[in-house]
Protein backbone atom coordinates (compact mmCIF):
# COMPACT_ATOMS: atom_id res chain seq x y z
CA UNK A 1 0.00 0.00 0.00
CA UNK A 2 1.34 3.42 -0.96
CA UNK A 3 2.28 5.79 1.83
CA UNK A 4 -0.68 7.99 2.70
CA UNK A 5 -0.31 11.77 3.05
CA UNK A 6 0.27 12.57 6.69
CA UNK A 7 -2.56 14.14 8.63
CA UNK A 8 -2.18 16.88 11.21
CA UNK A 9 -2.97 15.65 14.73
CA UNK A 10 -5.66 17.74 16.43
CA UNK A 11 -6.67 17.74 20.10
CA UNK A 12 -10.12 18.87 21.20
CA UNK A 13 -10.43 19.55 24.91
CA UNK A 14 -13.96 19.23 26.27
CA UNK A 15 -14.84 19.79 29.90
CA UNK A 16 -14.26 16.23 31.12
CA UNK A 17 -12.63 14.42 28.22
CA UNK A 18 -10.02 15.00 25.52
CA UNK A 19 -10.92 13.94 22.00
CA UNK A 20 -8.42 13.36 19.22
CA UNK A 21 -8.86 14.11 15.54
CA UNK A 22 -6.94 14.15 12.27
CA UNK A 23 -6.93 16.96 9.71
CA UNK A 24 -6.16 16.89 6.00
CA UNK A 25 -6.04 20.10 3.99
CA UNK A 26 -5.71 23.81 4.64
CA UNK A 27 -7.26 24.79 8.00
CA UNK A 28 -8.77 27.85 6.27
CA UNK A 29 -10.47 25.77 3.53
CA UNK A 30 -14.19 24.92 3.72
CA UNK A 31 -14.59 22.45 6.59
CA UNK A 32 -15.88 18.91 6.22
CA UNK A 33 -16.34 17.40 9.69
CA UNK A 34 -16.08 13.61 9.33
CA UNK A 35 -17.58 11.16 11.83
CA UNK A 36 -16.61 7.49 11.87
CA UNK A 37 -18.65 4.41 12.73
CA UNK A 38 -18.88 2.24 15.83
CA UNK A 39 -15.56 0.57 16.77
CA UNK A 40 -13.77 2.37 13.90
CA UNK A 41 -11.79 5.60 14.26
CA UNK A 42 -10.69 8.64 12.25
CA UNK A 43 -8.39 6.46 10.15
CA UNK A 44 -11.63 5.47 8.43
CA UNK A 45 -11.17 8.69 6.41
CA UNK A 46 -7.41 8.39 5.78
CA UNK A 47 -7.97 7.51 2.12
CA UNK A 48 -10.80 9.96 1.48
CA UNK A 49 -9.37 12.93 3.42
CA UNK A 50 -6.32 13.61 1.23
CA UNK A 51 -8.41 13.42 -1.95
CA UNK A 52 -10.94 15.93 -0.63
CA UNK A 53 -8.06 18.13 0.53
CA UNK A 54 -6.69 18.00 -3.02
CA UNK A 55 -10.14 19.13 -4.21
CA UNK A 56 -9.87 22.23 -2.00
CA UNK A 57 -11.58 21.17 1.21
CA UNK A 58 -10.40 20.69 4.77
CA UNK A 59 -11.35 17.35 6.36
CA UNK A 60 -11.37 17.12 10.14
CA UNK A 61 -11.99 13.52 11.20
CA UNK A 62 -12.92 12.97 14.84
CA UNK A 63 -12.17 10.00 17.09
CA UNK A 64 -15.32 9.45 19.13
CA UNK A 65 -14.87 9.04 22.89
CA UNK A 66 -13.48 5.60 23.68
CA UNK A 67 -12.22 5.13 20.12
CA UNK A 68 -8.84 5.64 18.50
CA UNK A 69 -6.64 8.14 20.34
CA UNK A 70 -9.50 9.83 22.22
CA UNK A 71 -9.96 9.57 25.97
CA UNK A 72 -12.28 7.11 27.67
CA UNK A 73 -15.32 8.08 29.68
CA UNK A 74 -14.76 8.15 33.43
CA UNK A 75 -15.37 5.10 35.59
CA UNK A 76 -19.10 4.62 36.19
CA UNK A 77 -20.07 6.24 32.88
CA UNK A 78 -21.20 4.50 29.71
CA UNK A 79 -21.39 5.16 26.00
CA UNK A 80 -24.99 6.28 25.62
CA UNK A 81 -25.83 7.17 22.05
CA UNK A 82 -27.17 10.62 22.86
CA UNK A 83 -23.98 11.45 24.76
CA UNK A 84 -22.16 11.27 21.43
CA UNK A 85 -24.56 13.93 20.17
CA UNK A 86 -23.69 16.14 23.12
CA UNK A 87 -19.98 15.58 22.49
CA UNK A 88 -20.49 16.51 18.84
CA UNK A 89 -22.33 19.71 19.77
CA UNK A 90 -19.50 20.77 22.06
CA UNK A 91 -16.95 20.00 19.34
CA UNK A 92 -18.87 22.09 16.82
CA UNK A 93 -19.10 25.02 19.23
CA UNK A 94 -15.39 24.80 19.97
CA UNK A 95 -14.20 24.85 16.35
CA UNK A 96 -14.78 28.53 15.74
CA UNK A 97 -15.55 28.11 12.05
CA UNK A 98 -18.65 27.10 10.08
CA UNK A 99 -19.16 23.50 9.00
CA UNK A 100 -19.49 23.36 5.24
CA UNK A 101 -20.46 19.68 5.36
CA UNK A 102 -21.17 17.19 8.10
CA UNK A 103 -20.10 13.77 6.79
CA UNK A 104 -20.66 10.54 8.68
CA UNK A 105 -20.29 6.81 8.16
CA UNK A 106 -22.58 4.23 9.80
CA UNK A 107 -23.02 5.32 13.45
CA UNK A 108 -21.34 8.59 12.50
CA UNK A 109 -23.84 9.03 9.67
CA UNK A 110 -26.77 8.51 12.02
CA UNK A 111 -25.32 11.02 14.46
CA UNK A 112 -24.73 13.49 11.62
CA UNK A 113 -28.37 13.21 10.52
CA UNK A 114 -29.67 13.64 14.07
CA UNK A 115 -27.35 16.55 14.80
CA UNK A 116 -28.34 18.36 11.62
CA UNK A 117 -31.98 18.04 12.64
CA UNK A 118 -31.29 19.37 16.13
CA UNK A 119 -28.92 22.18 15.10
CA UNK A 120 -29.54 22.95 11.41
CA UNK A 121 -27.93 26.36 11.80
CA UNK A 122 -24.56 24.64 12.19
CA UNK A 123 -24.80 22.32 9.17
CA UNK A 124 -24.71 23.71 5.64
CA UNK A 125 -24.65 20.33 3.88
CA UNK A 126 -25.17 16.78 5.10
CA UNK A 127 -23.89 13.41 3.86
CA UNK A 128 -24.52 10.03 5.49
CA UNK A 129 -22.69 6.93 4.24
CA UNK A 130 -24.40 3.61 4.96
CA UNK A 131 -26.86 5.28 7.34
CA UNK A 132 -30.57 6.02 6.96
CA UNK A 133 -31.68 7.39 10.31
CA UNK A 134 -31.29 5.85 13.77
CA UNK A 135 -32.08 2.44 15.15
CA UNK A 136 -35.46 2.65 16.87
CA UNK A 137 -37.15 0.75 19.68
CA UNK A 138 -39.51 -2.08 18.82
CA UNK A 139 -42.90 -1.98 20.57
CA UNK A 140 -43.14 -4.61 23.27
CA UNK A 141 -39.37 -5.17 23.52
CA UNK A 142 -38.26 -2.13 25.50
CA UNK A 143 -38.27 -3.82 28.92
CA UNK A 144 -36.21 -6.75 27.68
CA UNK A 145 -33.77 -4.36 26.01
CA UNK A 146 -33.34 -2.47 29.27
CA UNK A 147 -32.68 -5.68 31.22
CA UNK A 148 -30.13 -6.89 28.64
CA UNK A 149 -28.45 -3.50 28.65
CA UNK A 150 -28.06 -3.50 32.42
CA UNK A 151 -26.82 -7.11 32.36
CA UNK A 152 -24.11 -6.23 29.85
CA UNK A 153 -22.88 -3.45 32.14
CA UNK A 154 -22.58 -5.88 35.06
CA UNK A 155 -20.28 -8.17 33.09
CA UNK A 156 -17.03 -6.67 34.25
CA UNK A 157 -14.07 -6.84 31.92
CA UNK A 158 -10.98 -8.56 33.32
CA UNK A 159 -7.38 -7.63 32.70
CA UNK A 160 -7.04 -6.65 29.07
CA UNK A 161 -5.43 -9.37 27.03
CA UNK A 162 -2.38 -8.67 24.90
CA UNK A 163 -1.81 -10.26 21.52
CA UNK A 164 1.48 -11.54 20.14
CA UNK A 165 0.53 -11.08 16.50
CA UNK A 166 -1.44 -8.49 14.58
CA UNK A 167 -2.36 -10.72 11.64
CA UNK A 168 -5.15 -12.71 13.39
CA UNK A 169 -6.72 -9.48 14.67
CA UNK A 170 -6.66 -7.95 11.19
CA UNK A 171 -8.15 -11.10 9.67
CA UNK A 172 -10.95 -11.15 12.26
CA UNK A 173 -11.70 -7.44 11.74
CA UNK A 174 -11.81 -7.94 7.98
CA UNK A 175 -14.25 -10.84 8.36
CA UNK A 176 -16.52 -8.94 10.73
CA UNK A 177 -16.62 -5.94 8.40
CA UNK A 178 -16.60 -7.98 5.18
CA UNK A 179 -13.85 -5.86 3.68
CA UNK A 180 -10.21 -6.07 2.67
CA UNK A 181 -7.63 -6.94 5.32
CA UNK A 182 -5.51 -3.98 4.17
CA UNK A 183 -8.32 -1.65 5.26
CA UNK A 184 -8.79 -3.55 8.50
CA UNK A 185 -5.12 -2.98 9.33
CA UNK A 186 -5.57 0.76 8.76
CA UNK A 187 -8.35 0.91 11.34
CA UNK A 188 -6.53 -1.33 13.80
CA UNK A 189 -3.43 0.86 13.61
CA UNK A 190 -5.32 3.52 15.56
CA UNK A 191 -7.40 1.24 17.81
CA UNK A 192 -4.37 -0.76 19.01
CA UNK A 193 -1.06 0.08 20.64
CA UNK A 194 2.14 -1.95 20.85
CA UNK A 195 3.64 -2.31 24.34
CA UNK A 196 6.18 -4.76 25.64
CA UNK A 197 6.16 -6.86 22.49
CA UNK A 198 2.40 -7.29 22.53
CA UNK A 199 -0.61 -5.56 20.98
CA UNK A 200 -3.27 -4.08 23.28
CA UNK A 201 -6.59 -2.43 22.55
CA UNK A 202 -6.76 1.34 22.91
CA UNK A 203 -10.52 1.34 22.44
CA UNK A 204 -12.70 1.13 25.56
CA UNK A 205 -14.17 -2.31 26.25
CA UNK A 206 -17.40 -0.62 27.41
CA UNK A 207 -18.13 0.24 23.78
CA UNK A 208 -19.39 -3.33 23.37
CA UNK A 209 -22.08 -3.00 26.02
CA UNK A 210 -25.61 -3.50 24.75
CA UNK A 211 -27.69 -0.39 24.29
CA UNK A 212 -30.22 -0.23 27.11
CA UNK A 213 -32.43 2.36 25.46
CA UNK A 214 -33.46 3.44 21.97
CA UNK A 215 -35.58 6.29 20.70
CA UNK A 216 -39.03 5.69 19.20
CA UNK A 217 -39.98 6.21 15.57
CA UNK A 218 -41.88 9.35 16.55
CA UNK A 219 -38.85 10.78 18.29
CA UNK A 220 -36.61 9.91 15.34
CA UNK A 221 -38.92 11.68 12.90
CA UNK A 222 -39.09 14.71 15.17
CA UNK A 223 -35.31 14.95 15.56
CA UNK A 224 -34.67 14.57 11.84
CA UNK A 225 -37.39 16.98 10.73
CA UNK A 226 -35.48 20.07 11.81
CA UNK A 227 -33.06 19.90 8.88
CA UNK A 228 -34.76 21.74 5.99
CA UNK A 229 -32.04 21.53 3.36
CA UNK A 230 -31.15 18.89 0.81
CA UNK A 231 -28.99 16.00 2.01
CA UNK A 232 -27.29 12.97 0.55
CA UNK A 233 -27.29 9.28 1.49
CA UNK A 234 -24.52 7.11 0.00
CA UNK A 235 -24.99 3.33 0.11
CA UNK A 236 -22.56 0.60 -0.86
CA UNK A 237 -23.80 -1.62 -3.65
CA UNK A 238 -22.84 -4.59 -1.48
CA UNK A 239 -23.56 -2.79 1.79
CA UNK A 240 -25.97 -3.80 4.52
CA UNK A 241 -29.23 -4.97 2.87
CA UNK A 242 -31.32 -3.64 5.74
CA UNK A 243 -30.24 -0.11 4.85
CA UNK A 244 -31.71 -0.43 1.37
CA UNK A 245 -34.93 -1.60 2.99
CA UNK A 246 -34.77 1.30 5.44
CA UNK A 247 -34.31 3.70 2.53
CA UNK A 248 -37.59 2.55 0.98
CA UNK A 249 -39.38 2.93 4.30
CA UNK A 250 -37.81 6.16 5.53
CA UNK A 251 -37.35 8.54 2.63
CA UNK A 252 -40.18 10.72 3.93
CA UNK A 253 -38.41 11.10 7.28
CA UNK A 254 -36.08 13.57 5.54
CA UNK A 255 -36.90 16.93 4.03
CA UNK A 256 -35.11 16.57 0.69
CA UNK A 257 -32.81 13.55 0.44
CA UNK A 258 -31.10 11.91 -2.53
CA UNK A 259 -29.47 8.48 -2.66
CA UNK A 260 -26.33 7.50 -4.57
CA UNK A 261 -24.96 3.96 -4.66
CA UNK A 262 -21.24 3.31 -5.14
CA UNK A 263 -19.26 0.05 -5.41
CA UNK A 264 -18.29 -1.65 -2.18
CA UNK A 265 -19.75 -2.89 1.06
CA UNK A 266 -20.43 -1.22 4.39
CA UNK A 267 -17.00 0.47 4.24
CA UNK A 268 -17.52 1.70 0.67
CA UNK A 269 -16.00 5.07 1.66
CA UNK A 270 -12.67 3.26 2.00
CA UNK A 271 -13.16 0.87 -0.91
CA UNK A 272 -14.37 3.25 -3.67
CA UNK A 273 -12.64 6.55 -2.98
CA UNK A 274 -12.60 7.99 -6.56
CA UNK A 275 -16.34 7.36 -7.00
CA UNK A 276 -17.12 8.85 -3.61
CA UNK A 277 -14.95 11.92 -4.18
CA UNK A 278 -16.75 12.61 -7.46
CA UNK A 279 -20.13 12.16 -5.74
CA UNK A 280 -19.21 14.44 -2.85
CA UNK A 281 -17.65 17.21 -4.93
CA UNK A 282 -20.73 17.24 -7.15
CA UNK A 283 -23.04 17.44 -4.13
CA UNK A 284 -20.92 20.12 -2.50
CA UNK A 285 -21.12 22.27 -5.63
CA UNK A 286 -17.69 21.63 -7.11
CA UNK A 287 -14.23 22.64 -5.99
CA UNK A 288 -14.17 25.73 -3.77
CA UNK A 289 -13.19 28.99 -5.44
CA UNK A 290 -9.83 30.25 -4.23
CA UNK A 291 -10.12 33.87 -3.16
Question: How does pLDDT run across 169-203, given as a tens digit for each residue?
Answer: 899 898 888 889 999 999 999 999 988 888 999 99
Percent of the chain as helix, strand, coil, to the nearest 5: 40, 20, 40
Output the pLDDT for position 155.
81
- Other CB atoms within 10 A of residue 11 CB: 10
Q: What pTM, to 2 d.p., does this model score?
A: 0.94
Q: Which residues contact 110 (CB under 8 A, 6 or more apart)?
A: 104, 128, 131, 133, 134, 135
Output the pLDDT for position 88. Answer: 98
pLDDT of residue 270: 97
pLDDT recorded at residue 6 = 86
Q: Which pLDDT score is estimated for 247?
A: 97
Q: Does the domain formed by 8-135+215-284 have CATH 3.40.50.1820?
A: yes
Domain ranges of the chain: 8-135+215-284
51 vs 94: CA distance, rounded Å: 26
> Mind giving me the DSSP string for 101-120?
EEEEETHHHHHHHHHHHH-G
pLDDT at 289: 66
pLDDT at residue 144 in the model: 87
**How far apart are the C-alpha atoms of 238 and 236, rounded to whole Å?**
5
In the chain, which residues have pLDDT < 70?
1-2, 156-159, 289-291
Amino acid sequence: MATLPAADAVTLELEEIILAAQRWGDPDAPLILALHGWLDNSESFALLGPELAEAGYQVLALDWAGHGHSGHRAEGNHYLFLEYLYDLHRVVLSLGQPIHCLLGHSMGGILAQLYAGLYPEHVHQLVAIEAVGPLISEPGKDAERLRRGFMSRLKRQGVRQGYDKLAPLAAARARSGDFDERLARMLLSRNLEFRGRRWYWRSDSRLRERSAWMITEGQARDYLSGYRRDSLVVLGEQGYPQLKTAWEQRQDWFYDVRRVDIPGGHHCHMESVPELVQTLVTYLGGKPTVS
